[in-house]
Amino acid sequence: MIEKSLIDRLSPLVDGRVYFGVAPEDAAQPRLIIQTVSGAAGFTLAGWDGSSDLTIQLDAWGESYLQAITLAGQAFSAMTALGEDFTTGSADRLPDAFESDTKLHSVSWEYTLQP
């Protein structure tokens, strides 16, 4: 299960503050948010060939842009490291964001993963 592997790889970067979808309202900074973008299963004429992939968006949040971009770089290294749990097939940088109400910055990447 790639989702558990993601938490295992990324948690050490933020003392366990890795969340799927939305972080709790009182979650400390910095933190990582994972959202599933899409998933696909491979098929041949004989049916499912056993392959699959998962595309996620990974947002690195921080109280400053420097904190967010530094965390995003650390997450990139963790996501693209060789491992037996999954491999990263592609990584695309997405637009950065700033939330004026929370005063938080985010740096986002989209990753396509294969088990």
All structural domains of the chain with their residue ranges: 2-40+52-114
Tell me if 70 sits within 8 A of 1, measured CB to CB.
no
In the chain, the percentage of residues whose pLDDT exceeds 90 is 75
Q: Quick one: pLDDT at residue 1?
A: 73
Look at residue 51 and tell me whether its pLDDT is greater than 70: no
Three-class SS state of 115: coil
**If pLDDT is split at 50, 70 and 90, which confidence band does 43 have?**
confident
Tell me the percentage of the chain whose pLDDT exceeds 70: 97
From CA 17, how far away is CA 29, in angstroms rounded? 8
Whether the CB-CB separation of 27 and 21 falls below 8 Å is answered with: no
CATH 3.40.1160.10 fits 2-40+52-114, yes or no: no
User: pLDDT tens across 63-115, in order?
Assistant: 999 999 999 999 999 999 998 889 999 999 999 999 999 999 999 999 999 88
Q: CA 26, CA 3: separation in Å to the nearest integer?
A: 23
Residue 37 has pLDDT above 90, yes or no: yes
Residue 42 has pLDDT above 80, yes or no: no
